[in-house]
Structure 1
């Protein structure tokens, strides 16, 4: 496939993945959303369907990696040329940022209502003035809507958080790599996108509780950058002190999965 195919496929596929995945997080988070407090099961299935949609759209164009951990695992396994890896990664990051901006546009009114709600601000930041504004210096590292964009741990233990992301990503990438193994030696084709989506749902339900299961560096980093740049009132911090975990963990997990596939 050409460089143009990789760029277009990975950009559009990752943008759609991030739009639908971030969209379900927004739907569950905002008080003025019809899906408010729908719960973790809705989020897990929403992200699974997001992967399914992005993979179907990009599969015939770029191979639908949509995730640097997958690209790294495939490069180690031998299915992707190392010379193509930088283009895959740049395209995926760009697509994830586009998807995050689209989430903001789709939920523009909900963002404003949520971030100026005195009850929300009091619960998250402790206090607000008469106009519903808080002192930016008093805002915590993770703002009240950061979860719409990026992941965060329930227990902030960097070693455990890193290990959790590594384990979850190994499961994902191994499941993707082994789709090419069957009695005839042929891959699963479009069925592979459905299987991958169900694996993502399973990871979310089983392993997503501790960290929110990034399992994809750009799915976390791209939207976190957008969160930092968007003109959102009272948005709080982007929690950059944690941001390395959902990037490094999945990359290690992808590399381990590629190595395990090669060895065994």
Structure 2
């Protein structure tokens, strides 16, 4: 069944919002003061982000393709696997979904934001931060993780194993994201997605939260540019070799 562009855009909006709610919600649970999960380990965040991609994929993979990531949309278009005329609408609703999702995270955790005095913990529930304050390391980390994400996502969904049931492949996507967060999340977070980072960073800059500090705009281009370049490279690699 083919869905109209409007329906697919709604799916992208909701899917991106869910991804941010479940992903950044897990970060908030770990890092914000006074939560039930405060001080939990990194695996809680990995599971949160893995399911943050898995759930929308199961819901909307057969409707919009469940891009929920501008870098994936652009990478598909560059390789001729997605129409350029739909790229901008997809990206706009992905950013809108990320912003709305982050606003809902703040609404859910507002008392704990008020209790938290560490600006880095607050910013970390919105967007990514390089642990060593290195843009170069951040770029390398985001590029490697994003390249694996995009070549992996295309490989899983196009795998002959799942030709008769692509829905099962979406479980693989969730495990892929959770593993990337667990394995490569140490240096940056990671973002792997321009909308997931920039949309919430804008929210961080605009909301009058206590003790929030600055939004680290000097680093903000890294989790935007690196995933886009990795998306172009990763999808092109898979198409050239396997399609």
TM-score under structure 1 length normalisation: 0.86
Residue 185 of structure 1 deviates from its aligned partner by 8.7
Matches within 5 A, 1:222-233: 222-233=199-210
| TM-fit CA distance, 1:187 | 6.7
RMSD, matched Cα: 1.7
Distance in 1 (alpha carbons) for counterparts of 2:165 and 2:84 = 24
Residue in structure 2 matched with residue 51 of structure 1 by the alignment: 53
Cα distance in 1 for partners of 2:83, 2:159 equals 23
Q: Secondary structure at the match of 2:166?
A: coil
**How many residues of Structure 1 are paired with residues of Structure 2 in the alignment?**
239
Measure the CA separation in 2 of the matches of 1:110 and 1:234. Answer: 12
Task: Mark the runs of 5 or more structure 2 residues left unpaired by the alignment.
Answer: none
2:188 aligns with 211
Residue 257 of structure 1 pairs with residue 234 of structure 2: yes
Q: Which runs of 4+ in 1 moved over 4 A?
A: none
Q: Which structure would you say has the larger Rg?
A: 1
Unaligned stretches of 5+ residues in structure 1:
115-119, 125-141
Q: What secondary structure, in the 3-state scheme, does the structure 2 residue paired with 1:149 have?
A: coil
Q: Residues of 1 paired with 2:41 and 2:99: CA distance?
A: 25
* TM-score, length of structure 2 as denominator length: 0.93
Go from structure 1 to structure 2 and tell me whether the alpha carbon gap of 1:38 and 1:79 turns closer, same or farther (over 3 Å shift).
same
Aligned counterpart, 1:74: 76
Cα deviation, residue 194, structure 1: 0.9
Deviating more after overlay: 239-248 vs 202-211? 202-211
* Aligned match of 2:5: 3
**1:238 shift after superposition:** 0.5
The equivalences for 1:1-264 within 5 A come to 1-114=3-116, 120=117, 124=118, 143-183=120-160, 186=163, 188-264=165-241
